[in-house]
Amino acid sequence: MSPYLAFFLFLLAAVGLVGLIVLLNGLLGPRVAASAVKSEPFECGSRPLQQRNVRPLSIKYYPVAILFLLFDLESVLLFIWAVSAGNRELATLSFCSFLFFMGVLTLAFIYLWKEGALEWR
| pLDDT for residue 93 | 79
**Quick one: average pLDDT of 95-116?**
86
| 3-state secondary structure (DSSP) of residue 88 | coil
Break the chain into its structural domains and give their ranges: 3-115
Alpha carbon separation from 110 to 10, 63, 116, 118 (Å, rounded) = 49, 16, 10, 10
Say if residues 120 and 64 touch (Cβ distance below 8 Å): yes
Q: What is the mean pLDDT of the chain?
A: 79
Residue 55 has pLDDT above 90, yes or no: no
Whole-structure pTM value? 0.43
Residue 94 has pLDDT above 60, yes or no: yes
Render pLDDT for 9-34 as a digit per residue (tens, 0 to 9): 999 999 999 999 999 998 998 777 76
**CATH-assigned architecture of domain 3-115:** Up-down Bundle (1.20)
How far from the centroid of its chain's Cα atoms is residue 76's Cα? 14
How many Cα atoms occupy the beta-carbon half-sphere of 91 within 13 Å?
4
Residue 91 has pLDDT above 70, yes or no: yes
Q: What sign for the dihedral angle of Cα 45, 51, 56, 62?
A: positive
